[in-house]
Structure formats: structure tokens, C-alpha cells
Structure 1
């Protein structure tokens, strides 16, 4: 991994094994240069952590996750993280670039089909049974073994194992949190989720997104309620609140955040935050 200044951003190193691979796997306790301290940092790629042993907390944006055995943590690109470890953490770490799957499936929305990525209303983690955890570990071991003996067709086998793992994890996650499983979901809902990640800084209205998607605002609200339980405007607001909380964790002032996110003045920013969370930004910062 390579890093930038400010909040450190770690980027994927695709040529680590001599040929370009957009996925890697390792043991948390032995992986060189893996950040396991309390410095704020973020990744430009996807990561899944499989905790076997350890204690402490892992903060992801505004979410504080307890580190316990059989906990699985999902992180999406750009989320701000921090470890606070009380007992040594052991387990697997799996990380990959979106193109490892996107290019193969010719579907730029592929990773939005899994409920645990790009998530800002449901938890970014789950704790599963020993039997379920062992099923994941078998697939992880298969990926690890293939990395130990790379061949020209290894990327295909690794991709198939990763796909199995992502689908199984999606089933577990949907069962625990009672969210929509990917049987059939209207593609415009995924397109909206993808657009929201890219456009939320400048587009705040349902009409703006419905225009880009070339569908009516009413239809966009209908599919959002059907597949997320929230209106399109609520999803926009929750995404914005998630970003504000992330920036409050970075000790930015409310005034600085309000102008950065395009609010007309800090009082409107404070009112928006309090209407949705019940606290002012200052109260929220004090609580954390």
C-alpha cells in the first residue's frame, strides 16, 4: 500500500506479485505495512476484515465497531478509519479494486448489489456463527492457496472464489439485518446509489437525480422505498449526514464543513444537521 499526506490515503499496489492483480489477501497480524494503530486513515479500495481473535474498537466514519471473534467488517473506498486495540487482533484481510470484478462482469454497478458496501444506514459489520465463519474461512483459504502458486489463469479462479464469498456474505448480512437480498432489484435503484456516491456534494434534490437517470421523481421514490425502506430524499440526506459526521470526526469546524458542502450559511447547516440527528454539530462532536 502507498500513502498520501493529510488524512493518509492508502492505495492498492497492483504489481506486488509481478503481474497486475487487483486483489490481495493476508493475515492481519503478519501483513507488512498494514495500519493497526489509532491514526486516522482511509483506503481507495474495498476491504473486508475477518476477525478471529482480539479486542478493542474499529471506528469507520461515525460507526464504532467492537472487535470480537467472528466479526466481519466491510469498508468501502474513502471511509475514514481508526483502530483502538486492547488485545492483539488476528484474522484475515481481503482487499480489492472495483475493477477486479467490474471488468469481468461488465457491470459498473456490480458492487452496489451487495448490501454491506456503500452503506450509511445499516451497520458496516456483522457477527456470525462459528459454522458460517468457517465457511468463509474455507473460501479465504482457497484464495490464499492460489496466491501461493500463481499461474496464468489464477485471476479467474480467485475471482470465482471471491464472487462466492461476496454472495454468501450478502446472504448472512441480509438475514441478520433483514434488508433486501439481491433476487431482483430494479437497476435504476443501483444507478441511483452509484450516482449518490459521486454527486451528493452538488446535487441534493430528487429532481436532479431523476433527471440524470431519465425517470420521474415519483418512480425514483417508489423504487427507493421498495428496496431500502426510505424515500430518495431520505437517502440523499442520510448520505450527506454520513459525510458531515465523517468530517466532524476529523475535527473540522462546522463553518468549514458547511461551506465545503455548499450550505448557504452555517446556521442552515446547523439546522439541517439537528433536524435529522436531534443534535447540533457541536453537540455531536462533544459526544464523540
Structure 2
């Protein structure tokens, strides 16, 4: 469900990055240097930095000299749970994020990695993963973090839907908040991220739906209204169109997977 992979040289680093190129990843650089090009811009990662690597964006390495790093890879279901906890940092739609830590902060996270590399219980692994994300959120501020592909309109839109996804599902509402036309918002968002604002909003709603379904015992009716849907039927249709299963089927499937892994991983 989650993987923590320690690499101690540049070849190992590149092999793992290639192996999981289609997965969402957090890369923790403990010692070494990485320069990469992203959409024509060059970026540098050095000791005690964290990179949120998104499959939505193709990067090109300029210089790689990795001595020690951890690559935190999520599968689809865990990725959605984690992103729902820290949407503005982990959102794969709005580009690659860089976070600079001090040594003390990095070592706190590394201690969790040590436990995760020894752990086999998937539920405990998920708790450890959430702890890593909570650490990142507590360490992050405006002076030590930078999003590497970002348009101000995209940034403000993502902030708005993170707060108001349940209040309005109408893109016109968000365009008016940003004082742009819906057509301009659509163009800027598609040019910057490759997807539409509506797809981004649906992504955020889907993350929250999964988070609530796995965390609470609320009825589908209650969840649908809490998320701003007109009816449970509309919520069911929305969820199934994105995930291929109904909300009830998703909960059963996830509960079975966790139970199966708990019984069979040793």
C-alpha cells in the first residue's frame, strides 16, 4: 500500500524513479544534490529537502549526485487518503513542490521511516504515513516551501476549492471569486496543469468523499449532502463515474483489502 525505499547512490535513485514513474512520490534528500528542469525552469535540491513528485509533470535531470535519500511511494488508494490530509501540499495537479527542512526536522521524519521499513501491518503503515504528512504540514511555511509550477490564478483556485468544495460545485462561482471569466479560468488552468478546473474540483470532492467514507459511519445520504450534492443518487453517480464502484462498494472493497493484508502479510 505504501513503500519507503532508501537509496544510497545516484544509480539506485534513478532506477527507483524510473520504476515508479507513474506513481505519486515524496522524495526526501538527506545527502546529495539534484538539479532538474521542469517546464523550462531549473531547480536545485540539496540536503534535507523534500520534493513532491507528480506523474502529471515530466522532469528532466540536469545533474544527479545522490548519496542518501528516501523515496516514499503511494499506491492509488493510500495516495488519495494522504492527499486529502494535506491537499495544498500534495495536490498532484498544481505542480511539483519543494520543501526545505532543517536537520532536526528531517531526522524526526527519518525516525518514522525506520519504523515503516520494519513494519508489515498495513494499518500501522497507514498511521505512520499520516504521521509523516502531519510532520510535513507542521514544518511547512511560506519561507521554506515553493511550488515549482504555478500560475497565481491556479494557486488561488486550488486554495478556494480546498475551502469551499462543499459549498459550490459551479466553476462560475470560483471564477467570480477570482475576478476572471470562466473562459479565462478554464484556459489558464488547462494551459498550466493540462486539466480543466472542473476536473480539479471533482478530484478534490472525490478525495474528501473517500476520506469520509473510510473515517466515519455516516450514511451515504448524510455524506452526499455534507459534500454539497443535490441528492444521494447524484453523489452515487458522481462517485461511480470516477472510481468505477459505488460508495458502498468502495467501503466494502477497502475493508476487505485491509483485512486481507492484515491476515496475509508477515
- Determine which structure has the larger helix proportion and give its number: 2
Q: Displacement, 1:25?
A: 1.1
State which of 167, 186, 191 in structure 2 corresponds to 1:240: 191
Structure 1 stretches of 5 or more lacking a match?
Answer: 1-21, 190-209, 245-288
Q: Displacement, 1:72?
A: 0.5
Q: Displacement, 1:143?
A: 1.2
Specify whether residues 164 and 175 from structure 1 end up closer, same or farther in structure 2 by C-alpha distance, changes over 3 A only. Answer: farther
TM-score after normalising by structure 1? 0.50
Tell whether the 8 Å contact from 1:120 to 1:239 is kept in structure 2 after alignment: no
Residue 87 (structure 1) aligns with: 65
Q: Displacement, 1:137?
A: 1.2
Q: Displacement, 1:94?
A: 0.6
Tell whether the 8 Å contact from 2:175 to 2:185 is kept in structure 1 after alignment: no
Tell whether the 8 Å contact from 2:29 to 2:69 is kept in structure 1 after alignment: yes
Q: What whole-Å deviation, never above 9, does each CA across 1:83-121 have from its counterpart, x for those lacking one?
A: 23353342111111231254xx5x9x7267242432537
Q: Using the alignment, how far apart are the partners of 1:79 and 1:32 within structure 2?
A: 22
Residue 257 (structure 1) aligns with: none
Tell whether the 8 Å contact from 2:4 to 2:117 is kept in structure 1 after alignment: yes
| 1:221 matches 2:175 | yes
| 1:27 matches 2:1 | no
Q: Using the alignment, how far apart are the partners of 1:166 and 1:57 within structure 2?
A: 24
Specify whether residues 186 and 241 from structure 1 end up closer, same or farther in structure 2 by C-alpha distance, changes over 3 A only. Answer: closer
| 1:50 matches 2:28 | yes
SS of aligned partner of 1:115:
helix
CA RMSD of superposed structures (Å): 4.1
| 1:166 matches 2:139 | no
Residue 54 (structure 2) aligns with: 76
Specify whether residues 43 and 81 from structure 1 end up closer, same or farther in structure 2 by C-alpha distance, changes over 3 A only. Answer: same
Specify whether residues 161 and 74 from structure 1 end up closer, same or farther in structure 2 by C-alpha distance, changes over 3 A only. Answer: same
Specify whether residues 23 and 40 from structure 1 end up closer, same or farther in structure 2 by C-alpha distance, changes over 3 A only. Answer: closer
| 1:66 matches 2:39 | no
Which contiguous aligned blocks of 4+ residues in structure 1 show a shift greater than 6 angstroms?
30-33, 39-42, 178-182, 229-232
Residue 145 (structure 1) aligns with: 118
Q: Using the alignment, how far apart are the partners of 1:82 and 1:40 within structure 2?
A: 12
Tell whether the 8 Å contact from 1:116 to 1:170 is kept in structure 2 after alignment: no
Q: Using the alignment, how far apart are the partners of 1:100 and 1:230 within structure 2?
A: 35
Q: Displacement, 1:171?
A: 3.4
| 1:120 matches 2:120 | no
Specify whether residues 231 and 133 from structure 1 end up closer, same or farther in structure 2 by C-alpha distance, changes over 3 A only. Answer: farther
Tell whether the 8 Å contact from 1:47 to 1:93 is kept in structure 2 after alignment: yes
SS of aligned partner of 1:161:
helix
Question: How many equivalent residue pairs?
Answer: 182
Tell whether the 8 Å contact from 1:43 to 1:79 is kept in structure 2 after alignment: no
Tell whether the 8 Å contact from 2:5 to 2:71 is kept in structure 1 after alignment: yes
